[in-house]
Structure 1
Amino acid sequence: MTMKTAGRAATSVFLLATSGAFASEMSFTGTARTDAGEVLYVETHGVSGTCEDGVFAPQEHRVGYQRQEQDSAFATKKLDYTGSVIRPSVDFRQPEFDESLSIEYSGQDTLVINWQMPEGESRTFDVPYSNNVVVDAGFDNFVRRNWQAVLNGDSVEFRFLGPTRGEHYAFVLEAADSSKVTADHVVQIRPTGMILRFLVDPIILGYDSRGVLTDYYGLTNIRKNKDMNFTAHIQYSVVNWPDCELTP
């Protein structure tokens, strides 16, 4: 390490210490099953971030998707939350179908989607967005950001990005009753537009009392074939907790 590098590291440590923030990590796994209980794949999640004022703030999130009989991942995802905890940049790759999807931010109010489709075609979308737009796994942080509303049973409106359509749509986060998910708190995110409500099923989410996601039931980003993705019940288990709370 050079003197300049050492100086930068020392400065970073000092700034974190004086701001009440320090580095922390979280890891967890998810097992995706069909309605019949058949295991489809296992997700391995590693999240690095900081504890700020006693609450975990994710910065980088890596996901590996692996079948039980295989030693290596068949798909990967990387999310970067440094710009926003509800609008991460995304790099998703599914080599089996020659598919990739990236979401980046070219300006203050525009995101860019690059989708390499299974058929070999590619599409690019420039999508304007506002502060209430949620992207990909940012929904999890959105739920925790609105944790008091979840506890109170209130509804929260937002917009959710449909990356392969190049548009975001009106959704609502609300309490739910479901035979699919059993958890301390069960909520759903569903579209509010009349047409989309007939085309897109709600995503059912389970959270425990500490604010960690325990269940996801709905459409996944993993392909069943080139024409459709799996719908699955994913149950999560924490391997390593961060050194602070997940909710305010």
Structure 2
Amino acid sequence: MKRTLFLFWALLPHSRNSVMSDRAVIVIFASLIVMSFLSNRAFALEAEGRALDPKTKVLLYTERHFFPAPQVHEVRYFEADGRLFATKKLDYAQSSNAPSFEQLNERQGEVISVKHTDKIELQYRASSDAATKSATFNVSNKLVIDAGFDRYVREHWSELVNRKTHSVDYLVPSRQTTVEFKIKRRTCLDEQISESVCFEVKPSAWWLSLLINPLYLAYDETTKRLVRFIGRGNIADKNGKYQTVDIYYQYIE
């Protein structure tokens, strides 16, 4: 049985000004939010997602997702003209909330590598001509890495739906640090699909929340699948800029 899932990743932008640097934090966080929504039979899924410009509705890029094994998730990113420009592979074998993963964006030569040993080992390269930076982190119940956020949402679905606010420490590869974000239920935006459960995600730090627009996510109430995402995207354009995207998620049996 095949299903098709629209998903979104957010990667940290590399702006040279402070405001964009702060916005970068939410960009990388967005990446973890929309990736999996998987059941125990997730390996049977194949997926495709279309990221649109919120104002013009022009296609910015397409994502295709494959699940070759129960704990393995592969993503391929394509330009609007169909050319492959980025790949990602996640492994949830050691942690559902904090998966290992490898990502390459050939637009800028950005490389992210996160591996589990007794700790979390991160290597990050911003572009093909940049130096690789490294860092290590302790594993904790609050630590969330990339698409591990999706599994975190499903594991805490009941509490979140009943309006309990949760906070997570999200790994930001481009800054080699973690940042705390709050997740809470909210009334769905007019633009979002009706009959959904909607959440708002924003930094816990008040000063950062003043600079960064929240992320809005709409989920199907029955299947707990993401149906729409509005916010800054995870894939930089050819100029290295990160765009605000409007992504619809569709599932095909």
Quick check: TM above 0.5?
A: yes
TM-score by length of 2: 0.75
Structure 2 residue 204 is matched with structure 1 residue 185: no
Runs of 4+ more than 4 Å apart: 21-24
TM-score by length of 1: 0.77
* Seq. identity, %: 26
Structure 2 counterpart of 1:92? 103
**Consecutive unaligned residues in structure 1, runs of 5 or more:** 1-20, 51-58, 241-248
Structure 2 counterpart of 1:28? 47
Change (3 A) 1:123 1:143: same
Structure 2 counterpart of 1:15? none
Separation in 1, partners of 2:114, 2:41: 28
Q: Flag the structure with more relative contact order, 1 or 2, with Cα contacts below 8 A and sequence separation at least 6.
A: 2
1:222-233 correspondence runs (5 A): 222-233=235-246
**Consecutive unaligned residues in structure 2, runs of 5 or more:** 1-39
1:1-248 correspondence runs (5 A): 24-36=43-55, 37-48=57-68, 50=70, 59-70=71-82, 72-107=83-118, 110-118=119-127, 120-121=129-130, 122-177=132-187, 178-183=189-194, 184-209=196-221, 210-240=223-253
Separation in 2, partners of 1:162, 1:115: 10
Separation in 2, partners of 1:29, 1:46: 9
Separation in 2, partners of 1:180, 1:120: 41
Change (3 A) 1:226 1:113: farther
Would you say the 8 A contact 2:193–2:227 is kept in 1? no
Change (3 A) 1:156 1:170: same
Would you say the 8 A contact 1:127–1:166 is kept in 2? no
Shift, 1:76, TM fit? 0.8
Shift, 1:73, TM fit? 1.7
Greater fraction of residues in strand: 1
- Pair member with larger Rg: 1
Aligned residues: 209
Separation in 2, partners of 1:64, 1:103: 18
